[in-house]
């Protein structure tokens, strides 16, 4: 556990449990909003890649790149115990990215 997590636990322990739950849920919601902003940015970048690959008549899926993305994600983790969870999350993100690129192609968006 990090020092920050220790401090959190200590401060939360001062509160009645229902209040502690509300505090942590507020934190989760704030983090979700950051993730949503960042994921929207990622999808915009993925659409830009999709347009380039469509122009060059390249397939949507790039297995080598997906392997590299997953390896990089795992390398970024401070807690290696979360590796399998992050692999699952990013596998889904890339699957949805491919879906966006596929509909982009079907709609003929450049
Ligand atoms: O890098 C690409 O070529 C992308 O289209 C982006 C991305 C991703 O979401 O990271 C999506 C689909 C590809 O299979 C590989 C990676």
Total structural domains within the chain: 1
Give the DSSP letter of residue 78. S
Centroid of ligand 1 to alpha carbon of 20 (angstroms): 40
Ligand 1 pocket, CB under 6 A? 46, 49, 61-62, 65-66, 69, 94, 97-98, 101
d(C-alpha 20, C-alpha 15), whole Å: 6
Residue nearest to atom 6 of ligand 1 (CA): 46
- Residue 97 lies in domain: 3-106
Q: Is this complex scored with an ipTM above 0.95?
A: yes
CATH code, domain with 59 = 1.20.59.10
Which residues neighbour 51 within 8 Å (Cβ) at sequence distance 6 or greater? 104, 109, 110
Average pLDDT over residues 15-24: 92
**Top mutation candidate among 56, 66, 92, 99 for ligand 1, by most atoms within 8 Å of CB:** 66
pLDDT of residue 9: 84
63-98: pLDDT as tens digits? 999 999 999 999 999 999 999 999 999 999 999 999
Alpha helix ranges (H) inside 56-81: 63-76
Q: Where are the alpha helices (DSSP H) in 14-76?
A: 17-55, 63-76
């Amino acid at each position: 556990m990090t020092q920050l997590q220790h401090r959190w636990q200590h401060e939360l322990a001062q509160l009645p449990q229902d209040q502690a739950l509300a505090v942590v849920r507020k934190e989760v919601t704030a983090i979700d909003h950051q993730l949503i902003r960042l994921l929207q940015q990622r999808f915009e970048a993925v659409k830009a890649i999709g347009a380039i690959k469509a122009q060059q008549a390249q397939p949507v899926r790039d297995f080598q790149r997906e392997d590299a993305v997953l390896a990089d994600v795992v390398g970024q983790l401070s807690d290696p115990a979360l590796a399998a969870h992050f692999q699952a999350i990013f596998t889904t993100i890339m699957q949805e990215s491919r879906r966006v690129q596929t509909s982009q192609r079907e709609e003929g968006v450049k």
